[in-house]
Structure formats: C-alpha cells, structure tokens
C-alpha cells in the first residue's frame, strides 16, 4: 500500500545534539512538507519541497535543515540552533497543484532532555 513512513516514532535528544527525522513516501508525489505541532499552535510549516533538489523555507525554518536528493525522501534535521525543539513533527506529501490533498505520516515525537 502507498503511504508515508516517518521514523523514528519517538526520539530523545540531549541538548546540543543534532537529530534527523526520516520521511519516506511511495506515492510518487512531487511535493513534500514538514510541519511542527505544538499544543495550541496548530500546524506550523517548517520547510517544503516542490521538486527534487529544491526546497523553500516555511514560517519557522530557523534551527532546521532539510534535503531533497530523491523524490521519495525528505529528511528533516533539527539542529542545536533550534531553541525549543521538543514537539510533534508531521511529514506530508501531495501532488502539485492546489486541488491536491495532503497525505500525512504518523508523526515523530521529539523530546529534548
């Protein structure tokens, strides 16, 4: 079955460490997204990519980095520069164009100790 796989589901990090969250899709979607979800804040866009080897900053890109070397993969690195990284992270993908809906992964919960 087609879908999006995020890993790990739970991740613990010490302060000062970089961590990478994986997002893989087999839906042949061109566009991929990373959102951060905090209580009362909804979903905030971190980065998105419309095509391989290209990506754009979202509203809260500071302290995060991404790459899009393959169509099916869009990993997110949470760097030590992110001041408050504890959150729930959602990856999504879609075909390009406004009518197309997002398909979401199950999410990754990052906790900084």
Partner 1 sequence: AQTVTQSQPEMSVQEAETVTLSCTYDTSESDYYLFWYKQPPSRQMILVIRQEAYKQQNATENRFSVNFQKAAKSFSLKISDSQLGDAAMYFCAYRRSNRDDKIIFGKGTRLHILP
Binding site for partner 1 (CB under 8 A): 31, 33, 35, 40-45, 48, 50, 56, 58, 88, 90, 92, 94, 96-99, 101-102, 104, 106-107
Calpha distance 12→24 (Å, rounded): 21
* Minimum distance of partner 1 from residue 70's CB (angstroms): 18
Whichever of 33 and 64 has its CB closer to partner 1, that residue is: 33
Residue 98 has a CB neighbour count (10 Å cut-off) of: 5
* Minimum distance of partner 1 from residue 17's CB (angstroms): 25
Calpha distance 47→64 (Å, rounded): 8
Tokens of 42: 């909804």
Whichever of 16 and 42 has its CB closer to partner 1, that residue is: 42
Whichever of 16 and 39 has its CB closer to partner 1, that residue is: 39
Q: Are 78 and 110 in contact (CB under 8 A)?
A: yes
């Amino acid at each position: 079955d087609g879908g999006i796989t995020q890993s790990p589901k739970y991740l613990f990090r010490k302060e000062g460490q970089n961590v990478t969250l994986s997002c893989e899709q087999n839906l042949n979607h061109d566009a991929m997204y990373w959102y951060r979800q905090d209580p009362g804040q909804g979903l905030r866009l971190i980065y998105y990519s419309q095509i391989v080897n290209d990506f754009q900053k979202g509203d809260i890109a500071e302290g995060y980095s991404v790459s899009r070397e393959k169509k099916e993969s869009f990993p997110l690195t949470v760097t030590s520069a992110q001041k408050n990284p504890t959150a729930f992270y959602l990856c999504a993908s879609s075909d390009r164009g406004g009518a197309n809906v997002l398909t979401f992964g199950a999410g990754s919960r990052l906790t900084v100790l």
